């Protein structure tokens, strides 16, 4: 059993005993009417969530039955009489037995089904029964062709895209319902007036004249019946759409898990290969591989296989000095090259680094001038900024190698690396290491097909921008924009410092060089994107949506470098997916003089020198707090813990720690997650603090309430997904 598993079970053991004892004590006082039904309901709810966190489905099932029973009691559908109390006590005993079986040294670690069924007051409808005799205790395996799995995965992603596109029907139906509601209100107001006019007309014509009252009554009843039917249809449609989407997402997650393989299967032999190549070239190199147990989509790993191998070869050919040169510099005689894989912000981060010479900026500038990529620099003029020079090494045919041998190639490798990463909607960055060496960072999604995109509009064209690259969305007053050499800029706080950022009309980078800066009501809408240490604000006409979409690898004529793929919108029209890195590089290329002056440049600091982001986790379940704390700390975050909203506000207002993000449950004593969120947004000192609500309350009304109150995201934990949590944190921070 892993250490974290032991910690979680230990936390759960203490937590479940506390909840069981509190519920039993409450039941003892139920006869006198002193029981706090909300408290016992919340404890059953917390017990269910904690059981899910430690992967004990049997306990979760029983706790769910308790929660359902207490919910019925709260709603007045069930009396807490002697039979109900007996049922609760039996289920409490069953939970105690199940947990004891898990925790005993010789017992099973995660029972998949309870030894006996949870007791319910009413029998549930019969369903398909599992044949226990079929479970022999050993796993069964089926050989499936990779192509079939990829086809199944693509079909699933396409289904989700269709379901997402189908959301437009729900919105149309909702609008029709609102219009009918408005017509009904108008009719109710007119009904009395029409009735009065009808009576007056009948009086003038005499008692024997035709009466319109029956027709009015029939119309009124028909309108009300139509409204009831439409309201019921709209309600059923929303419920059906929600259920279908949740089922589809569960199938998608299951398929994704099958499609993931260990990085060891593709990168495992790289260390030996690099050592052999270096040995034949007379170099002594120690190769370290870290994080190869991480699970990644096989397609992503295959697409990165050759690029990563080339970067490792480069680390040896361009980085590793001869032993005597290393000794003279005070380095160990043996060079070191590292390959590290990690999950950061819900994406795969690959680092290839060495402790060698580091980038030769003078040689890069010389080759760039020789190839016409840069103009010769006059004496006394400052050199290009470091990020500009380092980005040139990914140009096709660029090489600083003096000759072609088995290690140093013809300069095609790094451009191929950049192209492979771009097709995966990722980014690549070359930078020096301190005190010596070079590091290449690749950042790509874990899966190849589905990508979270920000859909935006520029000059009546819709584009997609990978959301991982979006720093923030801006609405800048046009009057506050400054001018640097005739170009609009904005002063924006980034990482604790004021940075002068260029404001560029996105259309000028995508084929309309003379496009004006779009403004609306005296403001400029812009998306802040970052590549390395360079930041740009891309001005657009509108933001539409953030959604996960199926990205196809289709090139666009005239925009090859900027476009990394296409997606299909609801109207079956394609939208181009843009590469944020290439957009920033395009601006640097177009505005070389401004870029050389440092516009949009932020201070670069080594990862180890940066302050770890601090996250406040607010949850009344000690098991959930322990689980989330272990996940977040493994990603390098500092974590603070609070047991409810009141405790969290005390931590935030005390000022004892700088908190960058709050992750809060909704169901908590004293002050729930909604109350905490509202208190944060109403406090001027805390109002800009991002808050993620993470709860099992998945009702659309709860989601809408959380977002309306100002939550940055709302994650349901019906099926806890570590990658979704980290991806959401990565986007928010």
- Interval 174-193 mean pLDDT: 74
DSSP states of 525-561 as a string?
EEEEEEETTEEEEEEESEEEEEEEEE-B----TT-TT
Q: Using pLDDT thresholds of 50, 70 and 90, give the confidence band for residue 442.
A: very high
Is 263-432 a CATH 3.30.565.10 domain? Answer: yes
Quick one: DSSP state of residue 130? P
Q: Is the pLDDT of residue 134 over 50?
A: no
**Most confident listed range (116-125, 410-419, 456-465, 607-616):** 456-465
Q: What is the largest CA-CA distance in the chain?
A: 121
What's the pLDDT at 663? Answer: 92
- Interval 467-478 mean pLDDT: 83
Is 3-122 a CATH 1.20.120.160 domain? Answer: yes
How would you class 689 by CB atoms within 10 Å of its CB: exposed for 0-12, middle for 13-18, buried for 19 or more?
A: middle
CA atoms within 13 A on the CB side of 547: 21
Topology of domain 611-732, per CATH? Rossmann fold (3.40.50)
Q: Check residues 699 and 125 and name the one with the higher pLDDT.
A: 699
> Bridge partners of 475?
525
Task: Tell me the two tokens of residue 579.
Answer: 């590469």
Phi, psi of 525 (to 5 degrees): -85, 130
> Bridge partners of 461?
458
pTM beyond cutoff 0.75? no
What's the pLDDT at 121? Answer: 56
Q: Check residues 116 and 77 and name the one with the higher pLDDT.
A: 77
> Bridge partners of 640?
616
Domain boundaries, the chain: 3-122, 161-200+213-261, 263-432, 450-605, 611-732
Of the listed ranges 132-141, 417-426, 436-445, the one predicted with least confidence:
132-141
Q: Is the pLDDT of residue 123 over 80?
A: no
What's the pLDDT at 210? Answer: 57
Q: What is the CATH number of domain 450-605?
A: 2.40.50.180
- Interval 674-678 mean pLDDT: 89
Of the listed ranges 213-227, 357-371, 433-447, 645-659, the one predicted with least confidence:
213-227
> Is residue 448 helix, strand or coil?
coil
Rounded CA separation 569/549 (Å): 9
For tokens 């993931």, the residue is 260
Rounded CA separation 318/275 (Å): 15
Of the listed ranges 67-76, 159-168, 290-299, 564-573, the one predicted with least confidence:
159-168
Q: Is the pLDDT of residue 548 over 80?
A: no
Strand pairing class (614-618; 497-505): unpaired
């Amino acid at each position: 059993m892993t250490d974290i598993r032991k910690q979680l079970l230990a936390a759960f053991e203490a937590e479940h005993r506390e909840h069981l004892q509190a519920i039993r004590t409450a039941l003892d006082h139920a006869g006198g009417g002193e029981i706090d039904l909300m408290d016992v309901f919340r404890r059953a709810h917390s017990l269910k969530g904690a059981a899910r966190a430690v992967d004990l489905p049997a306990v979760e099932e029983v706790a769910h039955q308790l929660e359902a029973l207490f919910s019925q009691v709260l709603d007045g559908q069930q009396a807490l009489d002697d039979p109900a109390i007996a049922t609760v006590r039996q289920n409490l005993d069953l939970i105690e037995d199940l947990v004891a079986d898990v925790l005993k040294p010789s017992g099973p670690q995660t029972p998949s089904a309870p030894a006996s069924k949870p007791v319910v007051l009413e029998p549930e409808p019969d369903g398909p029964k599992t044949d226990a005799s079929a479970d022999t205790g050993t796993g069964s395996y089926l050989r499936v062709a990779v192509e079939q799995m990829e086809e199944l995965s693509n079909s699933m992603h396409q289904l989700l895209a269709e379901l997402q596109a189908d959301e437009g029907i729900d919105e149309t139906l909702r609008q029709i319902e609102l219009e009918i509601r408005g017509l009904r209100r108008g009719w109710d107001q007119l009904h009395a007036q029409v009735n009065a006019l009808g009576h007056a007309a009948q009086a003038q014509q005499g008692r024997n004249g035709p009466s319109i009252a029956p027709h009015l009554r029939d119309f009124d009843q028909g309108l009300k019946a139509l409204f009831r039917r439409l309201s019921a249809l709209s309600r059923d449609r929303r419920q059906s759409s929600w259920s279908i989407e949740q089922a589809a997402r569960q199938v998608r997650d299951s398929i994704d898990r099958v499609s993931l393989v260990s990085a060891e299967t593709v990168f495992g032999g790289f260390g030996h290969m690099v050592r052999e190549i270096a040995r034949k070239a007379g170099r002594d190199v120690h190769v370290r591989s870290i994080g190869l147990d991480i699970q990644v989509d096989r397609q992503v790993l295959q697409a990165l296989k050759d690029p990563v191998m080339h970067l490792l070869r480069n680390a040896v050919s361009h980085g590793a000095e001869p032993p005597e040169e290393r000794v003279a510099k005070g380095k160990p005689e043996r060079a070191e090259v590292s390959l590290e894989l990690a999950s950061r912000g819900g994406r795969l981060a690959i680092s290839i680094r060495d402790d060698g010479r580091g980038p030769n900026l003078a040689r890069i500038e010389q080759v760039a001038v020789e190839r016409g990529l840069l103009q010769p620099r006059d004496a006394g003029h400052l050199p290009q900024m470091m990020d500009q020079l380092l980005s040139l090494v990914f140009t096709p045919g660029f090489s600083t190698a003096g000759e072609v041998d088995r290690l140093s190639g013809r300069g095609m490798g790094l451009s191929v690396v950049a192209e492979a990463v771009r097709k995966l909607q990722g980014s690549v960055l070359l930078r020096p290491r301190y005190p010596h060496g070079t590091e290449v960072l690749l950042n790509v999604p874990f899966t190849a097909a589905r990508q979270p995109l920000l859909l935006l509009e520029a000059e009546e064209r819709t584009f997609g921008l990978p959301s991982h690259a979006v720093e923030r969305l801006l609405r800048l007053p046009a009057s506050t924009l400054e001018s640097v050499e005739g170009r609009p800029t904005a002063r924006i706080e980034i990482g604790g410092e004021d940075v002068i950022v260029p404001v560029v009309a996105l259309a000028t980078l995508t084929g309309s060089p003379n496009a004006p800066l779009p403004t609306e009501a005296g403001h400029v809408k812009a998306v802040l994107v970052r590549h390395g240490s360079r930041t740009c604000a891309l001005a657009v006409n509108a933001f539409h949506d953030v959604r996960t979409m199926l990205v196809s690898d289709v090139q666009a004529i005239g925009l090859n470098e900027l476009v990394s793929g296409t997606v299909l919108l609801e109207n079956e029209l394609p939208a181009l997916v843009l590469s944020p890195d290439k957009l920033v590089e395009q601006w640097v290329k177009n505005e070389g003089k401004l870029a050389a002056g440092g516009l949009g440049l932020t201070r670069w600091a080594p990862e180890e020198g940066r302050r770890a982001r601090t996250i406040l986790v607010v949850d009344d379940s000690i098991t959930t707090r322990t689980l989330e704390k272990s996940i977040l700390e493994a990603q390098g975050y500092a974590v603070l813990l609070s047991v409810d909203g009141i405790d969290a506000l005390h931590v935030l207002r005390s000022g004892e720690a700088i908190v960058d993000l709050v992750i809060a449950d909704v169901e908590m004593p004293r002050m729930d997650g909604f109350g905490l969120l509202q208190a944060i947004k109403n406090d001027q000192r805390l109002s800009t603090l991002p808050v993620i609500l993470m709860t099992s309350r998945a009702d659309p009304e709860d989601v809408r309430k959380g977002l309306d109150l100002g939550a940055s995201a709302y994650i349901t934990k019906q099926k806890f997904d570590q990658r979704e949590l980290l991806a959401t944190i990565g986007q928010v921070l």
